[in-house]
């Protein structure tokens, strides 16, 4: 099995995130419900140990677009061992990475 490629991430960077097959239902739901337009990195350094996720390595992100209501943007930690991160581009939202 090929190793995951790491990408350089910096605060404010627009990224695409997809869940790995073994990801928790929480992670899958957040990405499906909030990640249509990608996410913006909100932590610096981007990958940190998160106590809320049992000290796993995680990235703090905010949804790049509003939710159902204007100004309703989800912000939260996603565990690195449950996600694949890519550079965002227009085709990302269509599943054409």
Q: What is the pLDDT of residues 67-85, one digit of tens each?
A: 666 777 899 999 999 999 9
Quick one: tokens of 47? 């990958």
Q: What does the pLDDT look like over 4-34, one tens digit per residue?
A: 567 778 888 999 999 999 999 999 999 999 9
Residue 42 belongs to some domain of the structure: yes
pLDDT of res. 54? 85
pLDDT of res. 96? 44
Coil, strand, or helix at residue 45?
Answer: coil
Q: What does the pLDDT look like over 35-59, one tens digit per residue?
A: 989 999 998 888 888 888 888 999 9
User: Is it the case that residue 97 has pLDDT exceeding 50?
Assistant: no
Residue 6 belongs to some domain of the structure: no
Strands 47-50 and 56-63: antiparallel
Quick one: tokens of 59? 């990235």
pTM over 0.85: no
Type and span of the H or E element at 64: none
Please give the residue range of the domain that contains residue 20. 15-90
Three-state secondary structure of 9-76: CCCCCEEEEEECCCCCHHHHHHHHHHCCCCEEECCCCCEEEEHHHCCEEEEEEEECCCCCCCCCCCEE
Coil, strand, or helix at residue 96?
Answer: coil
Total number of domains in the chain:
1
User: Is it the case that residue 94 has pLDDT exceeding 70?
Assistant: no
Residue 72 belongs to some domain of the structure: yes
pLDDT of res. 50? 87
Residue 4 belongs to some domain of the structure: no
């Amino acid at each position: 099995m090929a190793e995951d490629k790491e990408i350089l991430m910096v605060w404010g960077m627009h990224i695409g995130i997809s869940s790995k097959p073994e990801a928790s239902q929480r992670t899958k739901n957040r990405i499906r419900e909030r990640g249509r337009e990608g996410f913006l990195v909100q932590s610096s350094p981007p990958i940190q140990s998160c106590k809320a996720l049992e000290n796993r390595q995680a990235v703090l992100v905010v949804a790049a677009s509003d939710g159902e209501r204007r100004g309703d943007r989800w912000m939260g930690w996603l565990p690195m061992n449950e996600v694949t991160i890519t550079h965002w581009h227009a085709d990302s939202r269509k599943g054409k990475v």
